[in-house]
Amino acid sequence: MNEFEWRRQMRNLRQPLVPQRNLWATIDDALEGSARQTVAEARRNTSPPMSGRRRHWLAATGVAASLLLAAGIGWQALQLSGPATIATSTTAHDWKPADPRLAGAAIELGAARMELQLAIQQAPDSPSLRRLLGRTELQQTQLRHRVNQAG
């Protein structure tokens, strides 16, 4: 086969092709048969209606599960936000020790605290940011105690 024959065959492929038999009749028959089968299966698989007692029990269980879930979420939120709130109220904003080695650490911790507070303003529900802020403020408190102990 040379290139000219190949191109002629390719051009012939662009022509519309008429099916040899009517496909819609076959499709309609298949759909009607599956619809009848679905209706028959639905009739066989129907369960009797729930009794009033069972329906009441199911509703009570759903309410209890919802309350338990809400209590768990609330408890978890209190656990995550507790230390950061306490540490925030005890830290002073501008503090610089006299020792230059400790002053550098105080500046770094202060800058980290400020960046974390800005990040928390953008994502107030982030537990990891609140944990980091709590750790940073704890480190600032420990640094203050060391400066006071060193005199």
pLDDT tens string 16-74: 877 788 878 888 888 888 777 776 777 676 666 677 778 888 888 888 888 888 888 88
Q: Give how far Cα 3 sits from Cα of 7, 8, 9, 95, 142, Å.
A: 6, 9, 10, 86, 85
Residue whose C-alpha is closest to residue 116's, from 92, 89, 104, 134: 134
Residues 92-99 have a mean pLDDT of 66
What is the pTM (predicted TM-score) of this model? 0.37
Radius of gyration (Cα) for the chain, nearest Å? 37
Let me know: does 102 contact 147? Beta carbons within 8 Å: yes
Which residues contact residue 123 at a Cβ distance below 8 angstroms, ignoring those fewer than 6 apart? 129
